[in-house]
Structure 1
Amino acid sequence: MPLSPGFDVVHELTASAGAEVFEHGWQSFSPTTAYALGARPHRPRSERNRMLNYRQSSHPGADGYFSEGVLAVADGSGSVHVVAAADPFTTGVRLQASVSGSSVVVGADGPVRVSVVEGSSVQSALPGWASDAAAAAGLPAARPAPTAWCSWYEYWGDVRREDVVENLEAMRTLDLPVDVVQIDDGYSAEIGDWLTPSDHFSDLRGLVETIRSEGRRAGVWLAPFFAGARSRLAAEHPDWLLRHPHGGPLHAGHNWNQDLYSVDMSHPGAAEWIRTVFSTLAGWGIDYFKIDFIAAGAIPGLRHSGADPVTAYREGLALIRDSVGPSAHILGCGAPVLPSVGLVDSIRVSADTGHTFAPEDGDMCSPSQEAAILSADGRQFMNGVFFANDPDCLIVGPKIENRESWAAHVEKVGGAVVSSDRLVGLDEWGLETTRRLLTR
């Protein structure tokens, strides 16, 4: 198949039996893996999935290979060809590989660097590329992630203060080495109204004080680049939202049973609001921030500053970092992976996990252990180099399908370990596994 318009040929090679190609997805949830050359790659099963889980400006077809920032081909003859953006962290260069018989043509829509190294698989070459890219960018050593407990996979959006306190007490009585107690979605009134409490959380600040009084750190979840259609933010400040070229707010997706808009952090009013949100939470003693669905900050649209999407995204992350301080831990989720490097401490490297193995809709960006394992394995070469890899939460309660293999996966990744069970509901195996993986 020919390359797409806007893509120029940057490399050509001849492949033989055993050749494989590595596709890197745009954001956390985008499938990332290597395929036997000629195998059909994973693609979104619905437009909703594409909007929420892939790069919105990209429409990869089922034929050929499409990668974000870096693409690699093991040619089957002992060499791996790594084609990567010349600046993989501050640009959004896309790559394609077109296959015709034994001929592979790689195209890109921006400047790239090509390296050919010895190796029989793409994963043998990617760690070297990552180390070289980190050194070229002058990145400091990646900080390890603290151990944590997260409310999400047990309580979802219905979490109450009492649930958090029960698990906080269980950590003490069960002697679990949890550094951070992280409150997930459910504490705020609406998506975007982060400082307005939900009915379940009339006193978030008081709960943070309770967590800290137990000698643990407090964490919170936000989706800072999103404003839900029901939010006061969207209603009172439509000028803070990313706009269509022809005017009007630009939809960034649909979730929580409402339309979602992207907050334009280049707008001075929006920037000041986001700074207020994060500095307020930090002032309450929160120093662990799980920022989710943040790919919404990198979608195309008219911005107040006129910045391109990747630049605007990185400037938004830098604003958040400046607001919470250098010692706070930032976990990026639903995040453009390479453009986040240097601005987050850990990053989700896969789709959400799930209580079951396979995704309900068969889409490898949808919540499931299968999809989570696929992309975390594909991005393992980044762990400890760009950031700490977050494979998603450790869930090992009796109701979890294939819990043994999921725990083994979390342990193998060797990055973030975040428990997300109701701790008093764990059986003996679940409790001992949780304790063992939290102990470092």
Structure 2
Amino acid sequence: MAESADYVPIAEIACAPARARVFEQGWQSWSPTGCYPGDATSPRPSSAQIAASCFRFDRPLPESGFQGEGLIVIDPGDGGPVRAWSAEEHSAEVPSIRVRALADRLIVSSLGAVRETEHASLPSALVAWAEEVATGAGVREVRPLGPGWSSWYGHWNKVTEQDIADTLVHAERLELPLEIVQLDDGYQTAIGDWLDIRPGFGSLEAVAKRVTDTGRRAGIWLTPFFVAADSSVATEHPDWLVRGTPAMREWDSDIAVLDVTHPGAAEHLAGVFRSLVVTGFSFFKIDYIYAGAHPGGRHADVSGHEAYRAGMRIIRDAVGPDSTVLGCGAPMLPSAGLVDAMRVSPDTATVVHHKSGDVSQPSQHGARLAGAAREFMHGRMWVNDPDCLLVAPRVEDRAGWADHVASSGGWRCSSDRLADLDEWGAARTRELLTPSTGLA
């Protein structure tokens, strides 16, 4: 198959492709990432919607082979040097790098500027890349992150203030060393209206006070670049939305993207986060943030990449240096230096395999694959988030999933209804709720 005209051939590696190994870095948190035989094809999305939401929406994948975003590493499998191709400038637009197999060689091509380096092994190549990215992004220290609890998997979007109160009681009863209690999706009236509280939820102020009165940190979830079409923000300020973005539908709503280059939208975004800090929140899980890089018409003439970086800087400045920002559904390279912690896999689930077989979709299997492949980032670029610990009796292969969480040095965050834990689940949760470690 001929290479796309936009991709420029940059290298040929003489080898037996079946014996070679190719490490492919996915675009964002949920994108498949891993090491594969050189004659294989990396995982592909099972639908066009998933391609847009879990892969790189503006760079279609080839029918076969590989497409790394910002990084491809090849071990030829014959004792020759391991060769890596990565972005020349890690804060600039992320290049796509393709590999395709012929009978006796691998062909490497790129869309965007890349540079080549040689290494003694594939692990050393990955570590060198992570350290280089961190240095370029100004990451001086990756601070440990204390163990937490999230409302998501136990309460979904029906969470209430009382659920948080009950969790605090059960955490004391079970002697769980929680340092962070994070409220997830479900408190808001609409995506984008983060300070308008859903009837029946309770009070954000009361949640933050309940948590901080116990000496813990209060956390909260937002999708800061997503705006539901029926939200107050969208209906009252249509000029704050990016024009011409792909059609998206989540939470049973049509979804638009906030244009952070518009002065009014930028001040609104900063104001939301400043208000939440004043309320008492100091841990921010920001989700679906790939949306900030969507192409489209903006107030300022900038690329999606530049808009994303601008939006993340607004958030960082608003929450201040003492708060923690955890990225999820986040473009990996553009987030370096702008987040403290990073989801490095798709969501986990109570089941091992997703029914579609698509490893970008919520499942223990998909989360294990990408999480293990990206463990080298932990302690260098940020604190890895392998997703939440789930060990209640309803969870399929709960021991296996707990072992995966234990294998990561990253953030340990329970998300069971604590009242549902049996003796084994409570003991395993207590054992694993430790602070994140140093280098992987």
| Alignment TM class, shorter chain as reference | over 0.9
Alignment RMSD: 1.3
Cα distance, 1:5 vs structure 2: 2.4
Q: How many angstroms does 1:412 deviate by?
A: 0.7
Structure 2 matches for 1:180-219, cutoff 5 A?
180-219=180-219
State how far apart, in whole Å, the 1-side matches of 2:135 and 2:267 are: 34
Per-residue deviation, residues 347-398 of structure 1 (Å, max 9, x unmatched):
1001000000001211111000011111111111111110011000001101
| TM-score calculated relative to the size of structure 2 | 0.96
Residue 408 of structure 1 is matched in structure 2 by 403
Change (3 A) 1:136 1:192: closer
C-alpha distance in 1 between matches for 2:144 and 2:243: 38
8 Å Cα contact 1:348/1:392 also seen in 2? yes
**What's the counterpart of residue 438 of structure 2?**
none
Matching residue's letter, 2:217? R
In the TM superposition, what is the alpha-carbon distance from 1:270 to its structure 2 partner?
0.6
Which amino acid counterpart does residue 257 of structure 1 have in structure 2?
Answer: D
Corresponding residue number in structure 2 for 1:68: 69
The residue identity in structure 1 corresponding to 2:33 is T
Of residues 337, 340, 363, the one that matches 1:342 is 337
Superposition pairs of residues 31-430 of structure 1, within 5 angstroms: 31-78=32-79, 79-119=81-121, 122-244=122-244, 250-251=245-246, 253-430=248-425
1:211–1:218 CA contact under 8 A, matched in 2: yes
Question: What are the superposed Cα offsets for residues 45-69 of structure 1, whole Å, 9 maximum, x if unpaired?
Answer: 1011111111110110231211100
Residue 265 of structure 2 aligns to which amino acid in structure 1? A
In terms of mean alpha carbon deviation, does 53-62 or 23-32 score higher? 53-62
1:25 aligns with 2:26: yes
Letter paired with 2:46: R
Task: Note if contact 1:274-1:320 (Cα within 8 Å) is conserved in structure 2.
Answer: yes
Instruction: Give the superposition deviation at 1:21.
Output: 0.8
Shift of 1:88: 2.4
CA deviation after TM superposition for structure 1 residue 12, in Å? 2.1
C-alpha displacement at 1:224, in angstroms?
A: 0.4
Given the superposition, is the C-alpha separation of residues 220 and 377 from structure 1 closer, same or farther in structure 2, using an over 3 Å criterion? Answer: same
Q: SS where residue 162 of structure 1 aligns?
A: helix
The Cα shift of 1:142 comes to 1.6
Distance 1:216 1:134 in 2: 29
**Cα distance in structure 2, aligned partners of 1:331 and 1:5:** 38
TM-fit CA distance, 1:310 = 1.0
> Is the CA contact (8 Å cut-off) linking 2:340 and 2:382 kept in structure 1?
yes
The separation in 2 between residues aligned to 1:84 and 1:251, in whole angstroms, is 28
Deviation of residue 124 (structure 1)?
Answer: 4.4
Residue by residue, what CA displacement relative to the aligned partner does 1:388-416 show, whole Å, maximum 9, x if unpaired?
11000001101000111101111111101
How many angstroms does 1:137 deviate by? 4.2
Unaligned runs of 5+ in 1: 245-249
Q: Please, which runs of 5 or more residues in structure 2 have no aligned partner?
A: 436-440
Q: Please tell me whether the aligned partners of residues 251 and 260 of structure 1 are also in contact (alpha carbons under 8 angstroms).
A: no
Q: After superposition, what is the alpha-carbon deviation per residue over 1:298-332, rounded to whole angstroms, capped at 9, x for unaligned?
A: 01111111111111101100100000001100000
Q: Secondary structure at the match of 1:145?
A: coil
Give the match's secondary structure for 1:227.
Answer: strand
The Cα of 1:136 is off from its aligned counterpart by 4.2
Return the alpha-carbon distance in structure 2 between the equivalents of residues 145 and 259 of structure 1: 35
Counterpart-to-counterpart distance in 2, 1:323 and 1:138: 19
Separation in 1 of the partners of 2:398 and 2:277? 35
Cα offset, 1:11, TM superposition? 2.2
**C-alpha distance in 2, partners of 1:357/1:183?**
25
Q: Deviations over 1:208-228 (max 9, x none)?
A: 111111111100000000001
Q: Is the Cα–Cα contact under 8 Å of residues 11 and 114 in structure 1 kept in the other structure?
A: no
- Counterparts of 1:380 and 1:268 in 2: how far apart (Å)? 38
Q: CA deviation at 1:171?
A: 1.3
C-alpha deviation, 1:201, in angstroms = 2.3
Question: Distance in 2 between the 1:384 and 1:430 partners?
Answer: 28
SS at match of 1:189: coil
* Structure 1 segments (4+ residues) deviating >6 Å: none
1:48·1:254 contact (CA, 8 Å) conserved in 2?
no
Identity of aligned residues (%): 42
Whichever residue aligns with residue 263 of structure 2, its letter is P
User: Cα offset for 1:252?
Assistant: 5.4
**Does structure 1 conserve the Cα–Cα contact (< 8 Å) formed by 2:97 and 2:111?**
yes
Q: Is the 8 A contact 2:73 2:84 kept in 1?
A: yes
- Match of 1:24, as an amino acid? Q
* Contact 1:55–1:299 (8 Å) recurs in 2: no
- Whole-Å separation in 2 of the counterparts to 1:72 and 1:126: 8
Partner residue of 1:247? Answer: none
Whether the 8 Å contact between 1:41 and 1:62 is mirrored in structure 2 is no
